[in-house]
Amino acid sequence: MIEIRELGRYVGEAVDLGGWVETKRGHGKVAFVVLRDGTGSVQCVLVKKQVDPATWDAFESLTQESVVLVTGEVRADERAPGGFEIGVSSLKVAGLAAEYPIQPKEHGVDFLLDHRHLWLRSSLQRAGLMVRAEVEQAVHDFFYGRGFVRIDTPILTGAIGEHAGTLFETDYFGERAFLAQTGQLYVEAACPAFRKVYCFGPTFRAEKSKTRRHLTEFWMVEPEVAFADSDDNMRLQEDFVSYLVERALENCREELALLERDTSRLEHVRPPFPRISYTDAIGRLKAVGSEIEWGSDLGAADEQILTESYDLPLFVYNYPKQAKAFYMKENPDDPRTVLCDDLLAPEGYGEIIGGSQREDDLDRLRERIREEELPEAAYSWYLDLRRYGTFPHSGFGLGVERTVAWITGRRHIRELIPFPRLMNRLFP
């Protein structure tokens, strides 16, 4: 059996294909079946007089999403999508499908999410997830190419990684355990062993809001680099994001076209990205009438206003201490703030990265843990990293679904993960 993507190599030859029926139509003498095999789709043509009655009967019994095995000749045909069609000599039904719930018409999003296990087969969903797969591969290629070592971090953890508000807690043989909100504390520990490291895995947050940019389980890439300051960190981020976009443009042309993505908005995504300090950002927001006060984190609406005037991702750097996590390094030039950045994607997508230089001073870090009322004992191992050879280091986390939503131009990040986990959704 061959794959549809290879048809070009078999023009004029007989081949065997297997796949799922997308559509069928016939007019008594001639019939057409569009077959999808996961690598592409192709139209199969049956001429009643030229096929045996069993094949014609099989065609007549076909329902949407039935699985068929087809033998036929590959013909080049400029009018056909993909450039080829199959002149069928035999067709067998391998798995007749019951009436398929997803029809070529508009369905409500709840219905589609309830049928996510089937919705995955639809062309726009396939295209979005193909871009995701390419971006994930590009993540590994980028870091491998730069000599980073991949570190797999635990999902069951004892210490709170980010903040207490969004923890999934579980019983761990009588002890409290949390699903990881981040792998960061562990990649920091791996830095003295390997210098440049990254982790890439699922992370969990009990987000009690239903927004288009929050999942309760999402995938995050987190590099950590020894001897990198906040500035080096932002440079790594702009190189990284530019590379991900470039790879999608290079290898996902068809998918982006199907998704009707205006790729001219992505073509110029190259370093350097513009930067604005948090304090200046607040000034700019107030100037356009926002009621935000210095000290609060930026919301989606603020991010939208700030990014409107740029067509590149925008760095907002050095947020107030109280708006960010305990591990960020105090800014020596303005101790009210920390050395950190958020990278905001344009076109209304907003934050795709959060990064910072880490607090490397033992006493200051311990003080921050106390101020945040975090259980100090759970961090004794983390504080060891400052006791036994502390060093300047920085890192960041990029959310895969938000990044792919921006690259594909999809509004909701739930479409860019195969099986989204949302506040009200644990199935399928």
Binding residues vs ligand 4AD (CB under 6 A): 162, 182, 184, 205, 207, 214-215, 218, 220, 222, 351-356, 395-397, 399, 401-402
420 binds Mg ion (CB under 5 A): no
How far apart CA 352 and CA 220 sit, in angstroms, is 10
* Span 177-216, contacts to Mg ion by CB under 5 A: none
Nearer to ligand 4AD, 72 or 399 (CB): 399
Nearer to ligand 4AD, 313 or 395 (CB): 395
Q: Shortest gap between Cβ of 342 and Mg ion (angstroms)? A: 6
Nearer to ligand 4AD, 91 or 241 (CB): 241
How far apart CA 391 and CA 361 sit, in angstroms, is 9
Q: Tell me the two tokens of residue 423.
A: 């506040």
Buried b (16+ CB within 10 A) or exposed e, 393-422: bbbbbbbbbbbbbbbbbbeebbbbbeebbe
Q: Shortest gap between Cβ of 162 and ligand 4AD (angstroms)? A: 5
With CB under 5 A as the rule, give the number of residues binding Mg ion.
1
Residue 24 β-bridge partners: 33
Q: Which residue is nearest to Mg ion (CB)?
A: 354
401 binds, among Mg ion, ligand 4AD, none (CB under 5 to 8 A by kind): ligand 4AD
Question: Where does this chain touch Mg ion (CB under 5 A) — which range of 37-45, 138-146, 233-241, 347-355?
Answer: 347-355
Q: Nearest Cα to 261, choosing from 405, 95, 424?
A: 405
Nearer to ligand 4AD, 119 or 406 (CB): 406
DSSP letter (8 states) at residue 296 = S
Give 151: exposed, middle or buried? Use CB within 10 Å, 0-12, 13-18, 19+.
Answer: buried
Q: Of 223, 346, 354, 420, which one interacts with Mg ion (CB under 5 A)?
A: 354
* Sheet arrangement for strand 314-317: 149-150, 196-204, 217-226, 393-399, 350-357, 340-345, 314-317, 275-277
DSSP letter (8 states) at residue 180 = -
222 binds, among ligand 4AD, Mg ion, none (CB under 5 to 8 A by kind): ligand 4AD
85 binds, among Mg ion, ligand 4AD, none (CB under 5 to 8 A by kind): none
